[in-house]
Amino acid sequence: MIDVLVIGGGNAALCAALMAREAGASVMLLEAAPREWRGGNSQHTRNLRCMHDEPQDVLVETYPEEEFWQDLLKVTGGITDEHLARLVIRHSSSCRDWMRKHGVNFQPPLSGTLHLSRTNAFFMGGGKALINAYYRSAEQLGVQIRYNAAVDSLELDDSGKFIAAHAGDQRIEARSCVLACGGFESNREWVREAWGQNERGEWPGENFLVRGTRFNTGVLLKFLMDRGADVIGDPSQGHCVAIDARSPLYDGGICTRIDCVSLGIVVNREAKRFYDEGEDFWPKRYAIWGRLTALQPGQIAYSIIDAKAIGRFMPPVFPGITADTLPELARKVGLDEANFVRTIEEYNAACHVGTFDHTVLDDCHTSGIEPAKTHWALPLDTAPFYAFAVRPGITFTYLGLKVDETTAVRFNDQPSDNLFVAGEMMAGNVLGKGYTAGVGMSIGTAFGRIAGTQAAKAAQQQQKTGAQHAAA
């Protein structure tokens, strides 16, 4: 019998497998995806948010524990667990040497991400390069890796002790188990149900796109909820951004984001503005626009810019819809021409243009319209005009299994002896809502490593107990 079974194939799963193997356990990792799609959502990530008290290789200045904690407190609106959050934060300051040892390469921030040069360490080549490195290292260390191995159920005893996993017709026993197989964002039916029906009679979840893997269907999350495991989080909460409406249903990743929101205005299907596009720097606001869009009729919105914005934002993957006049743009996009033109004329008339500067919270703002645009408000008056249709793009869901610092899965507040959980499946303990760049990987790395260590320890314990039973 193997010691530790890791279910999942992304960052948290690999961290757990590597740590358990390093602790001397025999390890098998089951990845639901085929090899070419391995790595879950981690293949789309690009950095790790790291605490540091002094400049460290690719990280400039300092990012102390307290500041990281305050950032997390702010984005989650207090829906977090301070003890676990601080555990993640401290862990993030010391995990990178271990990551390097397993082949991960770091680099200074990518172009367009200088605002993260202090807080986030970037993976050279992005998350897929990190995943490749971890798989290579795992193979070299003798971790058994199986692809196309989706687990559909677990065998647990009454106390929640793990006995075996079932993947198709295979039954795999192990002395302990780490679950790190993601949220339920790619389960269309569950997302639909989680968001429910709105006052317009729509099912908003039907119109969401999934930014990441198609393999996070939440099968084991559902299984454990049904078995009475303790859960945490609101099923409608998650990391959700506004992405190009033309993006593929799955795996659109980073390139589908639309970064020109703060340079223009955003209107809904009725050609009306609905939120302050210039509230704060885009990197601090990108994570709210998915939810904002989800609340609009038809779950669609249109980011509108004019020629002045071109070259000032990260290029989009799909070219925008272009027109030389506003009525023409409305027709091409399919918005009511009169409403659209009226919205823009009202906005243009309300703009107080001071000194435009996209690098500071400048003094260009509107007055007399609702909602206001509080910074970077320039009239849309220079042809050609561009429109980008956006939809909610869900990155991962926050509903998860409730844990303490041991990462043990709990039943009626009693921890399982040998079943642990890491990554998106428990990120909701730290992230009740909101998001800040790179924190998903900090959570996955911290709890993945803890879960691996705990699982190796539990396996040893099981073996000892087993031997004692045999001796008796």
Partner 1 sequence: MQPLDDLIHDAAMLAAGKTSATSQPIHFKTRAELLKGEPNDNEAEVARVMQICNSCRYCEGFCAVFPAMNRRLEFNKADVHYLANLCHNCGACLHACQYAPPHEFAVNVPQAMAKVRLDTYVDFAWPSSLGKLYRRNGLTLSLAVATGLALFLVLLVSLGGGLFQEPRVGSFYAIFPHNMLALMFGVVFLLAMVALGVGVSDFWRNVSPGSASSAAVAEAAHDALRLRYLDGGHGKGCNNEDDAFTLSRQRFHHLTFYGFMLCFAATCVATLDHYFLGYRAPYPFFSLPVILGTLGGIGLLIGPVGLLWLNLRRDPKNGDVAQQPMDRGFIALLLLTSLTGLLLLGLRDSSAMGLLLAVHLGVVMGLFLTMPYGKFAHGIFRTAALLKYSIEKRQPSKLQLKAD
- Burial label for 169, CB within 10 Å (0-12, 13-18, 19+), is exposed
Q: Which of 64, 283, 297, 384 binds partner 1 (CB under 8 A)?
A: 283
**Distance in Å, CB of 76 to partner 1, minimum:** 23
Q: Is residue 311 close enough to count as binding partner 1 by CB under 8 A? A: yes
> Nearest-CA neighbor of 178 among 429, 397, 406?
406
DSSP per-residue string spanning 282-293: HHHHGGGHHHHH
b/e burial code for range 293-315 (CB count within 10 A of at least 16 → b): bbebeebbbbbbbbeebeeebbe
Q: In whole angstroms, what is the distance from residue 106 CA to residue 57 CA?
A: 9
Q: Which of 164, 317, 350, 361 binds partner 1 (CB under 8 A)?
A: 317
b/e burial code for range 339-359 (CB count within 10 A of at least 16 → b): ebbebbeebbebbeeeeeebe
Between 333 and 362, how does the x/- string for binding to partner 1 read (CB under 8 A)?
A: -------------------------xx---
Between 319 and 338, how does the x/- string for binding to partner 1 read (CB under 8 A)?
A: x-------------------
Closer CB to partner 1, 118 or 192, in the complex:
118
- Which residue has tokens 């986030």? 120
Q: Which of 1, 114, 141, 349 binds partner 1 (CB under 8 A)?
A: 114
User: Which listed range, 109-117, 184-192, 328-336, 407-415, lies at the site for partner 1 (CB under 8 A)?
Assistant: 109-117
Q: Which of residues 27-66 bind partner 1 (CB under 8 A)?
A: 36-37, 43-44, 46
Between 207 and 246, how does the x/- string for binding to partner 1 read (CB under 8 A)?
A: ---------------------------------------x
- Burial label for 171, CB within 10 Å (0-12, 13-18, 19+), is exposed
CB 395 within 8 A of CB 42: no
Q: Is residue 129 close enough to count as binding partner 1 by CB under 8 A? A: yes
Q: Is residue 110 close enough to count as binding partner 1 by CB under 8 A? A: yes
Q: Is residue 124 close enough to count as binding partner 1 by CB under 8 A? A: yes
Tokens in use for 66? 């307290």
Q: Is residue 254 close enough to count as binding partner 1 by CB under 8 A? A: yes
What is the contact surface with partner 1 in residues (CB under 8 A)?
36-37, 43-44, 46, 105, 107-108, 110-115, 122-129, 132, 136, 246, 248, 251, 253-257, 259, 282-283, 310-319, 358-359
